[in-house]
Amino acid sequence: MNVANMNKKKRWRWIIAFLGVLAVVINGIGFLLGDFLYRETRDLQAHIQAGNAGQPEQLLKQGLRDKAWEDVTVPSRFGYSLRGTYIKNPRDTDKTILFLHGFGENRAAGIAYLDLYLSDGFNVLLVDSRAHGESGGSTVTWGYYEKYDVDTWIDWLSELFPAGEIGIHGRSMGAATALMHAEMDENKKRVAFYIADSAYADFESLLLLQAKEYISAAAWPEFLLKYADAAAYWHERYMFSQISPVRSVSRVTTPVLYLHGQEDSLIPVAMAEKLYQATKGPKELHVFLQTQHAAGIFHDRAGYEKTVREFIRASEQ
């Protein structure tokens, strides 16, 4: 072997070694950044303690003290406790609404919807989502594990009223969770209808949309998302790509009502339209004009309540 060939082989070895080290460095940096992104989505404002966020919490406390509302605790299948408040209708009924709040909220967010459902003949169960309020769990998974907690609450209601009617009303993250639960419930059909106010179609698209508001280079959000996906799987054994309400509803035949604000700057109304188009079964979509995220009930309460009541009547026929 001549000297030229030996030098050529050495150069190739150095090139391969350099590329290998470069790949390790790039992937290492990518995973660190992805892990940071994952932790931000997991932890940001997760625990909102009851009593610290104003009037709804005070009304919740007052109801527990003066109106015989019932605090409920059930065990999650993942080893932590789930907390909720059961509000029995003054009139005897076996119909119940399970309300699911949004990210960074707690069960008191459901107080705004209470009169609507009590006056329409429903009991109401307000619950704290995983890693929110008084419920256990250390991380938010944007509906992935939360949907199993929803099923646990359905177990509790089914024991309370074996032949009763159950509807689920979710708001924002709670709405997305409800839609993913609908796929789980497709065979058992324990839930009669779902109401999804301001749901995202899939979490990856929402993350990319928000990331591009802050990162100018178009390729960076997609690059980071792959590593954030890996970090989510490393920590919690799920992937962002699995959080896809739009994929879930393509298999759902239970009636679904979509509610959305036309000017929602957090979750664009196009996501509601995408969900509506993908839904397999009976469906309705109502868009509230000049309305921001999850604000339909505050911007047009009369129209909101009329839309919900008409949808429930139709689903019960």
What 3-state class would DSSP assign to 268?
coil
CA distance 69 to 196: 25
CA distance 170 to 174: 4
Q: Tell whether the model's pLDDT for residue 130 goes beyond 90.
A: yes
CA distance 270 to 260: 9
Q: Identify any residues that bridge with 259 across adjacent strands, giving them in sequence order.
A: 197, 286
Report which of 94, 23, 85, 1 is spatially closest to residue 50, judged by C-alpha positions. Answer: 85
In terms of residues, how long is the chain?
A: 317
Q: Kindly state the average pLDDT of the residues 109-119.
A: 96
Cβ(59)–Cβ(107) below 8 Å: no
Helix, strand, coil fractions of the chain, as percent rounded to 5: 50, 15, 35
Reduced 3-state DSSP string for 8-67: HHHHHHHHHHHHHHHHHHHHHHHHHHHHHHHHHHHHCCCCCCCCCCCHHHHHHHHHHHHC
Enter the tokens of residue 296.
């339909």
CATH number of 50-202+245-316: 3.40.50.1820
pTM of the predicted structure, to 2 decimals: 0.84
CA distance 56 to 304: 19
Q: Kindly state the average pLDDT of the residues 94-106.
A: 96
According to the model, what pLDDT value does residue 208 have? 80
7 pLDDT band, cuts 50/70/90, is: low
Cβ(106)–Cβ(133) below 8 Å: yes
- Strands 95-100, 81-87: parallel, antiparallel or unpaired by DSSP? unpaired
% residues pLDDT > 70 (the chain): 74
Q: Tell whether the model's pLDDT for residue 253 goes beyond 80.
A: yes
Q: Tell whether the model's pLDDT for residue 218 goes beyond 50.
A: no
Lowest mean pLDDT among 76-80, 176-180, 221-225, 244-248: 221-225
239 pLDDT band, cuts 50/70/90, is: confident
Parse the chain into domains and list their residue ranges: 1-44+211-242, 50-202+245-316
Give start and end residues of each alpha helix (H) in 161-259: 173-184, 203-211, 219-236, 245-249
Lowest mean pLDDT among 40-54, 76-90, 103-117, 227-241: 40-54
Q: Tell whether the model's pLDDT for residue 302 goes beyond 80.
A: yes
According to the model, what pLDDT value does residue 293 have? 94
Q: Over the chain, what is the mean pLDDT? A: 84
According to the model, what pLDDT value does residue 227 have? 62
Q: Tell whether the model's pLDDT for residue 301 goes beyond 60.
A: yes
Q: Kindly state the average pLDDT of the residues 41-53.
A: 42
